[in-house]
Amino acid sequence: MNYYSHSKLNENEITEGSKELKAHVNGVKEKALFHFAEGLSLGYTDRELKEILTILVDFHDLGKYTSYFQNYLLKQDPIDFKLKQHARLGGFVAYNHLEKNDEKKALLALYLIFLHHSPLIDILHIPSKLDDDLKRIINKQKEDLIENFPIIEKDLGIERLQDLVYYTEETKLRKGFRYWGKKHAFIQDYFLINYLFSLLIEGDKLDASDTVVYQLKPIKPSSVDDRFGKPDFQQKKLAELGNNELRNYCRAIVISNLEQPNILEHFIFTLTAPTGIGKTMTALDFSLKLKDKIKKYSGVESRIIYALPFINIIEQALSEYGKVLQSQKINILGHYQYADVFGKNDQKENVDGAEQGYDQKLMALDTWQADVVITSFVQFFETLIGNRNKLLKKFNHFANSIIILDEVQTLRLDQMPLLGASLFYLSKYLKSRIILMTATRPKIFELAQEEILTAEGEQVNPKELLTNYEEVFEVFNRTSIHPLLNALKEEKENKTQEFIYSIFADKWNAEKSCLIVCNTVKRSIEVFDTIRIYLEENNLGNPVYYLSTNIIPAHRLERIRNIKEDIQNHKAPILIATQVVEAGVDLDFDLGFRDIGPIDSIIQVAGRINRNNTIKKKHSPLYIIDFDVKATMMVYGRLTYIQAKKSLEQKNCFYEKEYLELITAYFDGISEKSSFADARTFFKSMKTLKYDSGEKRELPVSAFRIIEESDRYVTVFIETDEDASEILEKYLQKIMNEISREEYNKDWKLKFQQHIISVPKYLCEDLETVNEYEENILLVPKKEIGFRYSTETGYNRDLIEQNMAYTF
Q: Give tens-digit pLDDT for 169-224.
A: 899 999 999 999 998 999 999 999 999 999 999 999 999 999 999 999 999 999 99
Phi, psi angle pair for 641, to nearest 5°: -60, -50
Question: Is-contact 371 331, C-beta < 8 A?
Answer: yes
Percent of the chain with pLDDT over 90: 72
When comparing pLDDT for 286 and 246, which is higher?
286
User: CA 624 to CA 594: how far, in whole Å?
Assistant: 5
Would the pLDDT of 440 be above 90? no
Give the C-alpha distances (Å, rounded to integers) separating 326 from 322, 343, 406.
5, 14, 22
The conformation of residue 484, written as its DSSP 8-state character, comes to: E
Give the C-alpha distances (Å, rounded to integers) separating 215 from 31, 184, 283, 350, 366.
11, 37, 24, 12, 16
User: CA 93 to CA 743: how far, in whole Å?
Assistant: 43
Q: Does domain 477-673 correspond to CATH entry 3.40.50.300?
A: yes
pLDDT of residue 773: 74
> Comparing 223-473 with 477-673, is the CATH topology the same?
yes
User: CA 5 to CA 22: how far, in whole Å?
Assistant: 8
User: CA 47 to CA 59: how far, in whole Å?
Assistant: 18
pLDDT of residue 350: 42
User: CA 210 to CA 188: how far, in whole Å?
Assistant: 33
Rounded to the nearest integer, the mean pLDDT of the chain is: 91
| pLDDT tens by residue, 563-610 | 999 999 999 999 999 988 887 677 899 999 999 999 999 999 999 999
Helix ranges, 260-388 (H)? 279-298, 311-325, 358-366, 377-384
| pLDDT tens by residue, 106-138 | 999 999 999 999 999 999 999 988 999 999 999
Dihedral sign computed on CA atoms, order 409, 410, 416, 421: negative
| pLDDT tens by residue, 321-341 | 999 998 899 999 988 765 655
| pLDDT tens by residue, 684-693 | 999 999 999 8
Residue type, 337: Q
Q: Specify the 3-state DSSP secondary structure of 574.
A: strand
pLDDT of residue 352: 41
Helix ranges, 571-658 (H)? 599-606, 629-636, 638-648
Task: Give the pLDDT band of residue 799 (cuts 50, 70, 90).
Answer: low
Question: Is-contact 687 660, C-beta < 8 A?
Answer: no
Would the pLDDT of 157 be above 90? no
Question: How many C-beta neighbours within 10 Å does residue 798 have?
Answer: 9
Helix, strand, coil percentages (3-state) for the chain, rounded to 5, are: 50, 15, 35
Would the pLDDT of 800 be above 60? no
Residue whose C-alpha is closest to residue 675's, from 302, 412, 354: 412
User: CA 110 to CA 729: how far, in whole Å?
Assistant: 47
Task: Give the pLDDT band of residue 798 (cuts 50, 70, 90).
Answer: confident
Task: Give the pLDDT band of residue 492 (cuts 50, 70, 90).
Answer: low
Report the b/e string of 186-196 with b at 16+ CB within 10 A: ebebbbbbbbb
Would the pLDDT of 698 be above 90? no
Query: Domain map of the chain by residue range?
Result: 4-208, 223-473, 477-673, 713-795
| Domain 223-473 in this protein, CATH class | alpha beta
When comparing pLDDT for 358 and 734, which is higher?
734
Strand partners, 716: 757, 778
Task: Tell me the CATH number for domain 4-208.
Answer: 1.10.3210
When comparing pLDDT for 805 and 465, which is higher?
465
Q: Specify the 3-state DSSP secondary structure of 43.
A: coil
Mean pLDDT check: name the lowest of 88-102, 207-221, 669-683, 688-702. 688-702
* pTM, two decimal places: 0.91
- Cα–chain center distance at 625: 32
Phi, psi angle pair for 9, to nearest 5°: -90, 130
pLDDT of residue 348: 36
Mean pLDDT in residue range 26-50: 97
Question: Angle at CA 110, nearest 5°, toward 108 and 113?
Answer: 105
> What SS3 string covers 299-312?
CCCCCEEEEECCHH
pLDDT of residue 582: 82
User: CA 344 to CA 321: how far, in whole Å?
Assistant: 15
Task: Give the pLDDT band of residue 442 (cuts 50, 70, 90).
Answer: confident
> What string of DSSP letters covers 346-365?
--SB-TT--B--HHHHHHHH
Question: Is-contact 317 405, C-beta < 8 A?
Answer: no
Would the pLDDT of 807 be above 60? no
Mean pLDDT check: name the lowest of 405-419, 488-502, 692-706, 757-771. 488-502
Cβ partners under 8 Å of residue 549, min gap 6: 521, 578, 580, 757, 758, 808
Question: Is-contact 39 46, C-beta < 8 A?
Answer: yes
Would the pLDDT of 83 be above 90? yes
Pairing assessment for the beta strands 372-376 and 756-760 based on DSSP bridges: unpaired
Q: Is it true that the peptide bond before 78 is cis, omega within 30 degrees of 0?
A: yes
